[in-house]
Amino acid sequence: MVFKLEGESRESSVKGVNSKLRAEGKIPGILYGKDIDSKPIAIRFKDFNSLINTGLGANSVINFNLGGEDYSVMVREMQRDQIKGDIIHIDLQKVSMTDEMVAAVPIWIIGEEEANKNGIVQTQIKEVEVKGLPNDLPDHVQVDVSKLELGDALYVKDVNLPENLEVLTDKEELVVSIVSVQEESEETEIEEPTEPEVIGKGKEDEE
């Protein structure tokens, strides 16, 4: 599927400009990448939400038009409002369709209902890092655990990824295992407290 999106340039140094854009139904963002200067942009929320509803994935390539010029881009960061969940900022990265790049491929676990009859499905990692051409990068990869029994495990080497991708994550790293209720309880008891989730790891939003 070809994803298309239009954007407009925005001011980046005027206080309150981003709040005004959001009130107008637009999402402020940044376009950056190799061989271009970073460009402050704005995208209509309705247009971007339409892409999400039609199947835009983690590594989907978008044909992004800015002021009459087209760029091949990927969404590299989406910052959300911590209370409402609304998208408040987007980072778009310009990519070359002929240059390999490093990307994270989300892991989708399927068949949990069947596997849970034999124990508890314990997921260790949620993504695999790979290197390949933009059009070869999958939006996700499925790992079927329906036939796993108590004590079974799957590793990165067991994940079915396209052969034309270089897998950068250690192939011996554990992805998912089936453990007993007792093992799960013991691990939960010794878990260290986790830090609050930080929304957005890309460039900071300007106000």
Whole-number Å distance between alpha carbons of 135 and 112: 30
Residue 178, domain CATH: 2.170.120.20
Give pLDDT, residue 205.
45
**Strands of the sheet with 101-110, listed across from one edge:** 141-144, 101-110, 127-132, 166-167
pLDDT in tens, 108-156: 999 999 999 999 999 999 999 999 999 999 999 999 999 999 999 999 9
The residue segments making up the domain with residue 170 are: 101-190
Residues of the chain with pLDDT under 50: 194-207
Closest CA to 103 of 124, 79, 133: 133
Pair 62, 113 in one domain: no
Which of 34, 65, 94 terminates a domain? The answer is 94
Residue 152 corresponds to which tokens in the numbers above?
A: 């079974």
Which of 94, 129, 158 terminates a domain? The answer is 94
Residue 71, domain CATH: 2.40.240.10
Give pLDDT, residue 11.
83
State the residue for tokens 């990869």. Answer: 141
Pair 113, 164 in one domain: yes
Kindly give, in sequence order, each residue whose CB lies less than 8 Å from that of residue 186, ignoring residues fewer than 6 positions away: none
